Amino acid sequence: MEHTPEPRIGDAFGRTLQRCWAAGAVPGAASEVIEREDGHISAADAARYFTPAEELSDLDRAALEVARGRILDVGAGAGRHVLALQAQDRDVVGIDPSPGAVEVARRRGARARLGSVARPPAGIGRFDSLLLLGNNLGLLQGEEAAPQVLEQLASLARPGALLVGTGMDPDSPDPEHTAYHDHNRARGRLPGQIRMRVRSGTLATGWFDYLLAGVADLERLVRPSPWRLETVHEQGRDHLAVLRLTG
């Protein structure tokens, strides 16, 4: 049997955004390919990372309206939320761990810096609002990692700051997804805790956990943290959560 070589590890997400941008960032210009640990492969239109402000989802627009003061967009990607806020003359900066994504965001005029919640850019300071949009509540990763991630977010926040994020309930009629959720439960993980990586040709990111959590699981994960869940707006499987720093 022939050996199938493993992909090279690198900035596959950034390459996807660069290819999409080079092709005009129009629908169908490039696909974001996601590989799950069980071999499931999915692809989505990468043009969604370039959505103009007037075409943002209802939940995204609501999130931008809630944000106040100095704003940090965590996982900024190609900068769609940063650009929407800059157009309103808001004080905002985005961070992303992907060098390629930051390059594209900057070329589009977005104020973006290389970094993550765990490794923020030096001297970035603290913020009145932190955004986790594009389902980036998934950056909580899972039951074990969530407390540390929430503490790291608090370290970037001013007293009374807001954490505004979107997420998705993992419930799905797709049997391949429900089987994976059942497998997660059997090994003591949350059903929507996805072990995944981004692929681009022969390039792949490292494996990482990304969490799809319903509102009840989100409430439970947040409860012991310095954040308090204030409001949740649900729209089908999607939701917008607003938390306040009280610790």
Q: What pLDDT score was predicted for residue 22?
A: 97
pLDDT value, residue 78: 98
- In angstroms, the CA 33 to CA 22 distance is 18
pLDDT at residue 174, rounded to an integer: 85
Question: How confident is the model at residue 194, as a pLDDT?
Answer: 96
Write down the pLDDT at residue 135: 95
From first to last of the 247 residues of the chain, give the pLDDT tens digit.
Answer: 455 678 999 999 999 999 999 999 999 999 999 999 999 999 999 999 999 999 999 999 999 999 999 999 999 999 999 999 999 999 999 999 999 999 999 999 999 999 999 999 999 999 999 999 999 999 999 999 999 999 999 999 999 999 999 999 998 888 889 999 999 999 999 999 999 999 999 999 999 999 999 999 999 999 999 999 999 999 999 999 999 999 6
The 3-class SS string of the chain reads CCCCCCCEECCHHHHHHHHHHHCCCCCCCCEEEEEECCCCEEEEEHHHHHCCHHHCCHHHHHHHHHCCCCEEEECCCCCHHHHHHHCCCCCEEEEECCHHHHHHHHHCCCCEEECCCCCCCCCCCCEEEEEECCCHHHHHCCCCCHHHHHHHHHHCEEEEEEEEEEEECCCCCCHHHHHHHHHHHHCCCCCCEEEEEEEECCEECCCEEEECCCHHHHHHHHCCCCEEEEEEEEECCEEEEEEEECC
pLDDT reported for residue 3: 59
* HEC profile of 123-171: CCCCEEEEEECCCHHHHHCCCCCHHHHHHHHHHCEEEEEEEEEEEECCC
Q: Is the pTM of this model over 0.85?
A: yes
Burial 35-63 (b: 16+ CB within 10 A, else e): bbeeeeeeeeebbbbbbebeebbebbebb
Q: Which of 134, 212, 136 shows the shortest CA–CA distance to 177?
A: 212
CA–CA separation, 189 and 166 (whole Å): 21
